[in-house]
Amino acid sequence: MVSSVFVVGNWKMNGSVLLAGDFSTELRRIQPELATEVQIALCVPDTLLVSFDLDKKIRIGAQNLSEFDAGAYTGEVSANLLTEQGCHLVIVGHSERRQLFSESSEQVAKKAAQALRNGLTPIVCIGETGEQREEGKTFAVIGEQLLAVQQELGEAGMASIWLAYEPVWAIGTGKTASPEQAQEVHAWLRDQLGSVGTELPILYGGSVKAGNAAELFQQRDIDGGLIGGASLDINEFEGICRAADTLIKRKG
Ligand code: 13P
């Protein structure tokens, strides 16, 4: 089983060099007090990748990459350019990219493969809209999103990714999925993953805050959170890290 709790911030198109500096100072203070199994990462705009001064244990990630190696792709950023900046992780298939930038499941799968080939860990996001949930299509939708990645990466590749279940209706809305709703989906995903299911972290994303992190993270199949809004507020982010720490220390 995955024994760590992952706390991953997604700054989206927010933040600044100044905020990166403030986070560096505060995370240098907080991180030594936490169990080593609390794995912290921040996925930030590409221009901020080198603006942090953090302990190596805290990973820095990007939020998107090109599926191509290099060439005439104006405005795109390659995996290689990201790793050159010390990037370890990259979010792929966030619902905002699927919805606002028309990324297909096949393209997301190609991006995940490209990340892996270049030594980046992809955090593959999947999730249903509110309408799809109401229509009882949750498992069909996330099943299709997952299958595209499974087909592209194969078993061995799947063991090296992180997965994030982010119900679209819970993102930036303050409407968190209940711990039971999230656990139900996470358990289903783990089952779909077969033998690699116990090896990769499955994170929950959607209105995670300091006040609800503990009840989500203590679910059997929730290995941590992908955090949007609350990851831009150091006090909230610290609260989420400490909730993860308390859980780890309680388990002993
Ligand atoms: P919020 O935490 O702001 O709901 O965003 C979640 C998210 O999209 C993380 O990737």
> pLDDT tens per residue, the chain (252 residues)?
678 999 999 999 999 999 999 999 999 999 999 999 999 999 999 999 999 999 999 999 999 999 999 999 999 999 999 999 999 999 999 999 999 999 999 999 999 999 999 999 999 999 999 999 999 999 999 999 999 999 999 999 999 999 999 999 999 888 889 999 999 999 999 999 999 999 999 999 999 999 999 999 999 999 999 999 999 999 999 999 999 999 999 987
The closest alpha carbon to 147, from 179, 112, 180, belongs to: 112
CA-based max dimension of the chain: 52
Candidate from 13, 64, 207, 209 with most ligand 1 atoms within 8 A of CB, to mutate: 207
Residue 192 maps to which CATH number?
3.20.20.70
In a domain, 237, yes or no: no
Per the residue annotation, which of 103, 128, 166, 236 is the catalytic one?
166
Measure Cα distances from 46 to 50, 85, 201 in Å.
8, 9, 24
pLDDT at residue 168 in the model:
96
Provide residues with CB under 6 Å of ligand 1.
10, 94, 166, 171-172, 205-208, 226-230
In a domain, 240, yes or no: no
User: What is the pTM (predicted TM-score) of this model?
Assistant: 0.97
pLDDT at residue 1 in the model:
65
Rounded CA separation 24/40 (Å): 12
16: left (phi over 0), alpha (psi -120 to 50) or beta: beta
In a domain, 59, yes or no: yes
Locate the ligand 1 atom nearest the alpha carbon of residue 95 and give its number. 8
Q: Is 7 helix (H, G, I), strand (E, B) or coil?
A: strand
**Is-contact 207 170, C-beta < 8 A?**
yes
pLDDT at residue 251 in the model:
84
Q: Please tell me the total count of domains within the chain.
A: 1
In a domain, 233, yes or no: no
Residue 48 tokens read as 């901020």
Query: Ligand 1 mean position to 246 CA, how many Å?
Result: 22
Domain limits for position 114: 5-225
Active site residue 94: yes
Residue spans of beta strands (DSSP E) within 109-232: 121-126, 162-165, 202-205, 224-227
Active site residue 144: no
